[in-house]
Amino acid sequence: MTDEPQELPLLAKPRVSDVRLVETCEQLRETIKLLSASSGPFALDAERASGFKYSQRAYLIQVHRSGTPIFLIDPIAIQDEDSTAMQQLAELLAQDEWILHAASQDIPCLRELGIIPKTIFDTELGSRIAGLARVGLGAVTENFLGLRLAKEHSAVDWSTRPLKSDWLNYAALDVDVLLELREGVAKLLNEQGKTNWAQQEFANVANMKVKEPKVDRWRGMTGMHEIKDARSLAIARELWLAREALAEKLDVSPGRLIPDSSIVGLAANPVKSRPELASSKTFSGRASRTYLDTWWAALNEGLNTRNLPPTRLPATGIPNHRIWPNRFPEADARLKSVRAALTALAEELNLPIENLITPDYVRQVCWEPPAEISGQSVAEVLVNLGARAWQIQECSPMIASALLEAAAVGQISAEPETAGS
């Protein structure tokens, strides 16, 4: 007879009994006073309305410090009262470490408010580096605290006002556990000799710059691979641009106006009149009829414009690695050799290969290896690509060895490929 594993206790409410909703400048000043009277790192989280709103702004900020209440700060209400009110909070939070889980998701919306970290500790990223198989907040809480975390409201519309009490309870739980999780993750990283690695990764996330938006983002709509001719592409582009402008104006997620499928379907089979568009069963979505004039104008622009987009964008950067086996076998041989070496190294170091080294960096060095391959020359390439010092130290010798091995097997040249070959 075997004992069945017992279910862990459920953490349904914050263990910190004092949870305060902060909606006014006066309440924020009191919050800052109480946080200032404490010391140590700040447990921090932010909630957005992804999938509901166009913007990625923070609609709730959760802050907790040892010995303080959990503060649930409504930045929208506070900024409506005084646009400068958040500056004092930003100044306070910059004085000590932030503890976040999956920091890269929260830091951009906090930066929009002028709240910028000095140093961070990311319990999710730290758990990855420590080799944990499951790194969601619930899984990490179970691992270190032996508690199940109630997570019922992760995908709600946080722009809703007033915020529901059970939503606020969920939001408070996120920061209730972070101080203890930091201790657990930090201890594990120290035991594995990875503290310095994690610190470098945390610094990289804290200082990460906002990526430039891709050119012709409209080409990324679902189903666009079915559109081949320039006129249909022009229709798709104009409809996407109209949807984007309307979504930004209304602050609504674009897909909640009309879905990609409506745009792609209309581009492939354009109607010839406004009534026909109004009665189309394939052109659907919440705003498909409410803003019919907008869509009809965009369709006409696409049908009549002389500014036709190219059917294919000119190639930039290195070719997609998926076509290397057939078209660039030498580069593919290098990539396979390096991947095998790095996979073995990642297993030895007990961390995911994508955290050991950014996959794109690996492809770059395999596509165009140094003229003289050595650990030093590979290290120089990785520095220029943006790899961290610990990654360069661990990976450069392995990559160099694998590149040389690939060149030796079958007398493969280590010279770079040319995309036109």
CATH of residue 344? 1.10.150.80
**Looking at the structure, do residues 272 and 369 belong to the same domain, yes or no?**
no
Structural domain including 245 reads 229-304
In a domain, 4, yes or no: no
Q: Is the dihedral of CA 404, 408, 409, 413 positive or negative?
A: positive
Q: What pLDDT does residue 81 have?
A: 87
Place of tokens 């060895």: 401
Q: Are 152 and 170 in contact (CB under 8 A)?
A: yes
7 sits in the region (left: phi over 0; alpha: psi -120 to 50; else beta) called beta
Q: What is the pTM of this model?
A: 0.89
Q: Are 59 and 9 in contact (CB under 8 A)?
A: no
CA distances from 314 to 227, 235, 311, 317, 319 (A): 17, 20, 10, 10, 11
Quick one: angle between helices 25-37 and 86-93, nearest 10?
A: 20
**Looking at the structure, do residues 244 and 113 belong to the same domain, yes or no?**
no
Q: At which of 206, 241, 257 does a domain end?
A: 206
Q: What pLDDT does residue 1 have?
A: 46
What's the CATH number where 140 sits?
Answer: 3.30.420.10
Q: Are 31 and 20 in contact (CB under 8 A)?
A: yes
Taking the C-alpha atoms of residue 355 and residue 346, their distance in angstroms, rounded to an integer, is 9
Query: CB 40: neighbour CB atoms within 10 A?
Result: 14
**Looking at the structure, do residues 353 and 236 belong to the same domain, yes or no?**
no
Taking the C-alpha atoms of residue 17 and residue 69, their distance in angstroms, rounded to an integer, is 8
Taking the C-alpha atoms of residue 131 and residue 107, their distance in angstroms, rounded to an integer, is 24
Task: Let me know the angle formed at the C-alpha of 281 by 230 and 242, rounded to the nearest 5 degrees.
Answer: 45
Taking the C-alpha atoms of residue 347 and residue 155, their distance in angstroms, rounded to an integer, is 34
**Looking at the structure, do residues 241 and 353 belong to the same domain, yes or no?**
no
Nearest C-alpha neighbor of 32 from the set 82, 68, 77: 68
Taking the C-alpha atoms of residue 92 and residue 88, their distance in angstroms, rounded to an integer, is 6
**Looking at the structure, do residues 115 and 195 belong to the same domain, yes or no?**
yes
> In the chain, what's the furthest Cα-to-Cα distance?
78
Per DSSP, the three-state class of 293 is: helix
Q: Are 101 and 213 in contact (CB under 8 A)?
A: no
**Looking at the structure, do residues 79 and 47 belong to the same domain, yes or no?**
yes
Nearest C-alpha neighbor of 168 from the set 73, 66, 43: 73
Taking the C-alpha atoms of residue 171 and residue 137, their distance in angstroms, rounded to an integer, is 12
Taking the C-alpha atoms of residue 305 and residue 15, their distance in angstroms, rounded to an integer, is 62
In a domain, 223, yes or no: no
Domain count, the chain: 3
Task: Let me know the angle formed at the C-alpha of 410 by 407 and 415, rounded to the nearest 5 degrees.
Answer: 35
Nearest C-alpha neighbor of 269 from the set 283, 284, 287, 289: 283
**Looking at the structure, do residues 58 and 120 belong to the same domain, yes or no?**
yes
Nearest C-alpha neighbor of 122 from the set 70, 39, 15, 197: 197
224 Cβ contact list (under 8 Å, min separation 6): 218, 236, 264
Query: Residue 228 CA to chain centroid, in angstroms?
Result: 31
Q: Are 129 and 356 in contact (CB under 8 A)?
A: no
**Looking at the structure, do residues 93 and 24 belong to the same domain, yes or no?**
yes
Which strands make up the sheet holding 42-47, listed edge to edge? 19-22, 70-73, 60-64, 42-47, 98-100, 120-122
**Looking at the structure, do residues 298 and 332 belong to the same domain, yes or no?**
no
Taking the C-alpha atoms of residue 413 and residue 288, their distance in angstroms, rounded to an integer, is 57
**Looking at the structure, do residues 91 and 139 belong to the same domain, yes or no?**
yes
In a domain, 299, yes or no: yes
In a domain, 344, yes or no: yes
Nearest C-alpha neighbor of 202 from the set 41, 409, 35, 407: 41
379 Cβ contact list (under 8 Å, min separation 6): 392, 396
**Looking at the structure, do residues 103 and 160 belong to the same domain, yes or no?**
yes
Those residues of the chain that have pLDDT short of 70 are: 1-5, 153, 410-421
Instruction: Read off the amino acid at residue 155.
Output: A
